[in-house]
Amino acid sequence: MAFLALERVSKHYGAMAAVDDAALTIEKGEFVSLLGPSGCGKTTTLQMIAGLVEPSAGRIVLDGRDITNEKPNRRGLGVVFQSYALFPHMTVAENVTFGLEMRRVPRSERIERVREMLALVQLSVFADRYPREMSGGQRQRVAIARALVIAPPVLLLDEPLSNLDAKLREEMQFELRRIQRKVGTTTIMVTHDQAEALSISDRVVVMEQGRMTQVDAPYRLYEQPSNAFIASFVGKTNLIAGVWRRDGMAGAVDIGGIRLEAPSADFPAGTPVTLSIRPEKILLRKAGEGQLDGRIASRFFLGSQWLFTLETPIGTITVSIPNQGEEPPAEGATVGLDWSPASLRVIASAMAHPGGGTA
Amino acid sequence: MISRPSSRSSSPWLLAGPGALFFAGMILLPLALTVILSFRVYDHATGIKDAYTLSHYIAVVTDEYYLGIFWRTLRVAAMTTLICAVIGAPEAYILARMRNPWRSIFLLVIIGPLLVSVVVRAFGWSMLLGSQGLVNQALQLVGLSPVRLLYTETAIVIALVHVMLPFMVIPIWTALQKLDPMVEAAAWSLGASRFTALRRVVLPQVSLGMLSGCLIVFGLSASAFAIPGLLGGRRLKMAATLVYDEYLHELNWPLGAAIAIIVLVANLLIMLAYNRMVETRARRMLG
Amino acid sequence: MQKNGPLALLFHGLVVAFVLAPLVIICLVAFTPENTLSLPTGGVSLRWFKAVFAHPDFVASFWNSIWLATLSATLAVAFAVPAGLAISRFTFAGRDALNALFLSPLIIPHLVLGVAFLRLFALVGATGSFSWLVATHIVIVTPYVLRLVLAALSGLDRSAEQAALTLGASSWTTFRRITAPMILPGITGGWLLAFINSFDELTMSIFVTAPATVTLPVRMYMYATESIDPMMAAVSALMIALTAAAMLVLDRAFGLDKILVGQR
């Protein structure tokens, strides 16, 4: 049985549905991310789990107990806020001990647990500092310690890394995962950063306009996006509009008269579809040796890789190739594009973004 | 105290209820009683009667004596407002261009007197402007004949400007604080002279602050009591001192109430007009 | 930023002189040994300060004003904090009206309030009552506190309160342990501003004070209209000193410009 379950949960503000019919089950010890652009309802979902927002419909069940209408201060969940929400007038130790005080934990035990928790987040020497005397990354860890010290059944993280600079963000991703592995707390994280979601989660929930559109392990989400939005939101991709054809057992797609071989899919012939192919799955060969020829319109050097924009008969295609230490073809050159048909994804066009192209 | 935003509850009324009742009882009720009082018949021999009349209002708007006092009140308030604007706007601009610590120190000097009791300041001016005061001594020193200042409208205006100046400086200062210091430099870089930059770029952005300052100063000057009371003497009355006299010397409360209500309505009209103006302007600027 | 030119500095100097002149002259005249209002050219004397403290009316009025300001500022805080919470934390029918009611004493001339209170006092027989005088001052100073409390609440990170809730604190505990300490600077600043405004109030008080409850500004006004001797300067100098002290505290703690912006 699921540890935490959202059963058809919705939140309406007037006629607007911030969260629409969300269903999700989470196992004990799992790290799940809610991923989506701003305004997709991911934070509202988190706040409903925390009890800070009342659902308009549906049930939230924690470990077999219906907590839908329980007050936030009775749920006992750990929450890390986007702004960290540290108490500015209390020291680090006082911040961390607050939740234990509310639970009437005896003083000696409180001191011990706070000490352990500060050691876990590597802040032992800062116990008597005030939040304003600490850096962003340190405050972040205080917020995590404060949420974890009450040994919550579920830890909720609202964009926990968004206020940190890029380098620190990367470090904290691993730190967060290390802490979560160590204490084994079931964790739900809200983020708009797909790289963050992919790198630390066991599963990722993609939300669009209040709906959960795909729930999958990071690798599967990347390789098998269920619609064009997810394909372009999670990682980079080339989206090409075409028409589905049958070609014996395998499938094929017509793009303005050019026929490309594709993995078999369950569409009637003649259905408009969108092809998705990741830039790194395309190889550059000599002209005439690939499936298509294209002219290099621009070339950018990114250090670890090269990024190309090519003009081809099926539209503008983005290609990235790893930097192998040799200079690749220059702008203006004509090259061949090649890929394995298995790396193409065929998506029903109704969901595709208007215009297609590279997203 | 802390509630989930969606929850509907009686908490706000539990929190604000006692205060709201107290304020209703202490503001709305006395004001209503005063409005009623202003329509009551008054007899010099027997006092307030149970009958109602419009005669107090009619007296106030027809009697030369009262009209004279109203005109003086408007004249003095308008003069004060004008001088405050002429002094306050450049002063706020100069303050804004100062460097710390001078900026903080002089801001404190200019707006700090706001917290000194108005009686104290009126008394200070009565010493400065008296027939043997510092101003006249200085005039004699440079060979001019002494002038009568105390108990004139000039004295009232001078002291009112002193009391009201902070109310003019504060909103203009606030507007200037919101101004990007580089816009003026941008205007210069486009070939504007310093004066043109001030007039075309700075002034339009602080005009709302100036307007707000003018209305506050005008409203407060028109209902000022201590300054005309101490510097205008017994004969040079303004609206507030007139009300005081009607209440505490003439004991004609209904007439005093009528004048007070006129002062209140005039004040509220000014505020209303101001709010309307700010709203229209905000709407225009937001598109 | 461009520096001020010599002309601007001259103008500024004149304005500062104008602003300080009456206050400086009071402080000088207060030390005169003469019987008339004159500058202490022939030596300095404290005789008029001694005269103030020996004058029973002034001393009684001073204590009246101190008690009045302390009580009304404190009770204004008691009204303004819950009202501020209600206004900033809830959306409910009548919220704007409530806000307008609480702030209305700022736009009603004190003269009109004085007249209105006098009528109320006459009808309920409250003339000469100190408690009723306190009530009138609460009305006048509550808006100052409310404005600072509202500003403090709107500048507050609400997620700190939500964090306390998720950690198991009750609403009351959250207010006591988190919200109140965080808005304390606003409350303290509001209290001080309320105290000063109550202590200085003349126009409204002159209508509602009775001989037993006369406040210091009212006493000074009466005294100044009847006699002119340097004792008035001595009282004034004391009030200036008191205000300057309060002002320095306010400025150090909160920044006076922030507190006074919009005050009237």
Which of B152-156, B277-281, C33-37, C122-126: highest mean pLDDT? B152-156
Q: Which chains border A (3 or more CB–CB pairs < 8 Å)?
A: B, C
Residues forming a β-bridge with A240: A275
Test B6 with A53 for CB contact under 8 angstroms. Answer: yes
Test C217 with B127 for CB contact under 8 angstroms. Answer: no
Q: How many CB pairs under 8 A join A and B?
A: 9
Is A169's pLDDT higher than 80? yes
Cα nearest neighbour of B223 on chain C: C109
Test B6 with A52 for CB contact under 8 angstroms. Answer: no
Contacts of residue B235 in chain C, CB cutoff 8 Å? none
Contact predicate B227/B155, CB 8 Å? no
Residues 6+ apart with CB under 8 A from B21: none
Test A77 with C167 for CB contact under 8 angstroms. Answer: no
The shortest C-alpha distance from B64 to chain C (Å) reads 23
Which of B42-51, C29-38, C48-57: highest mean pLDDT? C48-57
Quick one: pLDDT at residue B99? 81
- For the stretch A207-226, pLDDT in tens is 998 889 899 999 998 888 88
Please state the domain extents for chain B.
Answer: 47-116+165-286
Rg over alpha carbons for chain B, rounded to the nearest Å, is 24
Has the ipTM of the complex gone over 0.90? no
C4 interfacial to chain B (CB closer than 8 Å)? yes
Region A113-137 average pLDDT? 89
| Percent of chain A clearing pLDDT 90 (strictly above) | 21
Least confident of A240-249, B171-180, C7-16: A240-249
Reported as type and span, the H/E element at residue A285 is strand A283-286
* pLDDT grade for C1, boundaries at 50, 70 and 90: very low
Q: How many CB pairs under 8 A join A and C?
A: 65
Residues 6+ apart with CB under 8 A from C184: none
Cα nearest neighbour of C163 on chain B: B2
Contacts of residue B12 in chain C, CB cutoff 8 Å? 86-87, 89-90, 92, 95
- For the stretch C48-84, pLDDT in tens is 888 888 888 888 889 989 999 999 999 999 999 999 8
Q: How many CB pairs under 8 A join B and C?
A: 275
CA distance linking residue C239 with residue C249, whole number of Å: 15
Contacts of residue A51 in chain B, CB cutoff 8 Å? 4
- For the stretch A237-249, pLDDT in tens is 888 888 888 766 6
Quick one: pLDDT at residue B7? 44
Which of A39-53, B6-20, C119-133: highest mean pLDDT? A39-53
- For the stretch A28-74, pLDDT in tens is 989 999 999 888 889 999 999 988 888 999 999 998 889 888 888 88
CA-based nearest residue to B179, from B198, B161, B166, B162:
B198
Residues 6+ apart with CB under 8 A from B101: none
CA-based nearest residue to A240, from A343, A128, A159, A356:
A356
Q: Compare A59 and B148 and report the one with higher pLDDT.
A: A59
Matching residue, tokens 């116990």: A127
The shortest C-alpha distance from C53 to chain B (Å) reads 18
Please state the domain extents for chain A.
Answer: 4-228, 232-279+341-359, 283-338
Q: Are strands A57-62 and A31-35 parallel, antiparallel or unpaired?
A: unpaired
SS3 (DSSP) at C160: helix
The shortest C-alpha distance from B14 to chain A (Å) reads 21
Region C155-174 average pLDDT? 87
Contact predicate A344/A263, CB 8 Å? yes
The shortest C-alpha distance from A215 to chain B (Å) reads 29
Quick one: pLDDT at residue A303? 87
| Percent of chain B clearing pLDDT 70 (strictly above) | 94
Least confident of A252-261, C18-27, C137-146: A252-261
Contact predicate A117/A145, CB 8 Å? yes
Region A226-242 average pLDDT? 86
CATH topology agreement for domains A4-228 and A283-338: no
C200 interfacial to chain B (CB closer than 8 Å)? yes
Of C90, C116, C239, which has the smallest distance from its Cβ to B31's Cβ? C116
Contacts of residue C200 in chain B, CB cutoff 8 Å? 115-118
Test B94 with C12 for CB contact under 8 angstroms. Answer: yes
The domain B47-116+165-286 having CATH identifier 1.10.3720.10: the answer here is: yes
Of C22, C111, C162, which has the smallest distance from its Cβ to B223's Cβ? C111
The shortest C-alpha distance from C142 to chain A (Å) reads 27
Least confident of B123-127, C141-145, C152-156, C173-177: C152-156
C100 interfacial to chain B (CB closer than 8 Å)? no
The sign of the torsion formed by the CA atoms of B94, B97, B99, B100 equals: positive
Region C5-17 average pLDDT? 89
Counting every residue, how long is chain B?
287
The domain A232-279+341-359 having CATH identifier 2.40.50: the answer here is: yes
Q: How many helices (H) and strands (E) does chain C have?
A: 13, 0
Q: Which of C156, C162, C166 to mutate to test the interface with A (most CBs of A within 10 A)?
A: C166
Q: Long-range contacts for C154-160 (Cβ within 8 Å, ≥24 apart)? A: C154/C88, C156/C182, C156/C183, C157/A83, C157/A85, C159/A81, C159/A82, C159/A83, C159/A85, C160/A85, C160/A86, C160/A87, C160/A88
* pLDDT grade for C257, boundaries at 50, 70 and 90: low
Contacts of residue C167 in chain A, CB cutoff 8 Å? 73, 98-99, 102, 146-147, 150
Cα nearest neighbour of A48 on chain B: B4
**Quick one: CATH architecture of A283-338?**
Beta Barrel (2.40)
Is A351's pLDDT higher than 50? no
* pLDDT grade for B156, boundaries at 50, 70 and 90: very high
C173 interfacial to chain B (CB closer than 8 Å)? no
The shortest C-alpha distance from B101 to chain A (Å) reads 25
The shortest C-alpha distance from B8 to chain A (Å) reads 11
Q: Prior bond to C6 cis, omega within 30? A: no
Test A53 with B4 for CB contact under 8 angstroms. Answer: yes
Directed axis angle between helix C6-29 and helix B102-111, to 10°?
Answer: 50
Class of domain A4-228: alpha beta
Test B110 with C19 for CB contact under 8 angstroms. Answer: yes
Region B231-247 average pLDDT? 85
The domain C49-260 having CATH identifier 1.10.8.590: the answer here is: no
Counting every residue, how long is chain C?
264
Quick one: pLDDT at residue C263? 39
CA-based nearest residue to C247, from B112, B169, B109:
B112
Quick one: pLDDT at residue B12? 79
Contacts of residue C170 in chain A, CB cutoff 8 Å? 73
Contact predicate A332/A295, CB 8 Å? yes
Least confident of A316-320, B40-44, B66-70, C128-132: B40-44
Quick one: pLDDT at residue B285? 61
The shortest C-alpha distance from C117 to chain B (Å) reads 6
Q: Compare B36 and C41 and report the one with higher pLDDT.
A: B36
